[in-house]
Amino acid sequence: MKNYFSLVKFSHTLFAMPFALVGFFIASAEQTGALSWRLLGLVVLCMVFARSAAMAFNRWLDRDVDAANPRTKMRELPAGIISPRSALTFVIVNCLLFIVTTFFINRLCFFLSPVALTVILGYSYTKRFTWLCHLVLGLGLALAPVGAYLAVMGRFDWVPVLYGLAVMLWTGGFDIIYALQDEEFDQSRRLYSMPAFFGKIRALRISEWMHLGTAALMVFAGQQVHSRLPQAGDLLWLGTGIFLALLFYQHRLVKPNDLSKVNLAFFTTNGVASLIFGTLAIVDLLT
């Protein structure tokens, strides 16, 4: 079990889970009646199953590439800790569990579950033909607040879509920062990433512009939430402010000629930012 948690980087669920929960609690606050803990549990399970399937599939598909990269050759599949067949079985089981779980949520989520799986699994192929792969990864995580809102309301709405677009640009931006480490390797293998295609300096500028877009979308989404739910405000804005401050802080950590703090920027800063925003926003929506 420990090896599979490591395979899918279970701790990285912190990136998208808080936004999924924000989407869920926005919808719950708009609805009259008691909060459905059963539905909340199903949403959390969907997040876990979908992300586990996507991450394991990415590791399975990239096993030969990871084996050739000195930075990733000790991952579970190239190191032989988990066999390719076992990893693929793990992917299939999680996909099936995701679809079954959506069946118990509502009909719309169930019918859209193959679409969601197509996006999150399809990302793994994109680095082979487009430098827009970072945004496709972001799109996969962007489904979290939208899907959680759909689980409660059974319909689409602009507010979770705005948060979803913010997540897409946020994720794409920090994935570019993470990809800086593999610029030369990606070029040698003819893999597409923005650092490999544009170079480190331009890729970092693109990442900064993406995160500026994230900031604008987060502020606009917060205004929409406050206009619908006047009781939400102070903590939501505090969480948004801290999130954006940490977002821009990570760009001070990473320089084109100094990648020593990439992991701090990628894992710690983004995980803490998402957790703080999600916690403060949810408390604001519940009180």
Chain segment 139-149, per-residue pLDDT in tens: 999 999 999 99
Q: CA-CA distance, 55 to 173, in Å (whole number)?
A: 19
- The pLDDT confidence band at residue 33, using thresholds 50, 70 and 90, is low
Q: Does domain 16-286 have CATH number 1.10.3720.10?
A: no
Query: What φ, ψ does residue 105 adopt, rounded to 5°?
Result: -90, -70
Query: CB-based burial of residue 190 (10 Å sphere; 0-12 exposed, 13-18 middle, 19+ buried)?
Result: exposed
Closest CA to 153 of 32, 41, 27, 21: 27
For residue 70, pLDDT over 80 is answered with yes
Region 160-174: what's the mean pLDDT?
97
Q: CA-CA distance, 275 to 192, in Å (whole number)?
A: 31
Residue 11 confidence (pLDDT): 63
Q: CA-CA distance, 287 to 122, in Å (whole number)?
A: 39
For residue 10, pLDDT over 70 is answered with no
Q: Tens digits of per-residue pLDDT, 189-221? A: 999 999 999 999 999 999 999 999 999 999 999
**Mean pLDDT, the chain, as a whole number?**
93
Enter the tokens of residue 220.
């606009």
- This prediction has a pTM of 0.94
Q: Which residues 6+ apart lie within 8 Å of 49 measured at CB?
A: 94, 95, 97, 98, 101
Residue 267 confidence (pLDDT): 79
Q: Which residues 6+ apart lie within 8 Å of 161 measured at CB?
A: 146
For residue 129, CA distances in Å to 123, 190, 194 come to 11, 9, 12
Q: Tens digits of per-residue pLDDT, 83-134? A: 999 999 999 999 999 999 999 999 999 999 999 999 999 999 999 999 999 9
Enter the tokens of residue 56.
């394991």
Q: CA-CA distance, 133 to 206, in Å (whole number)?
A: 14
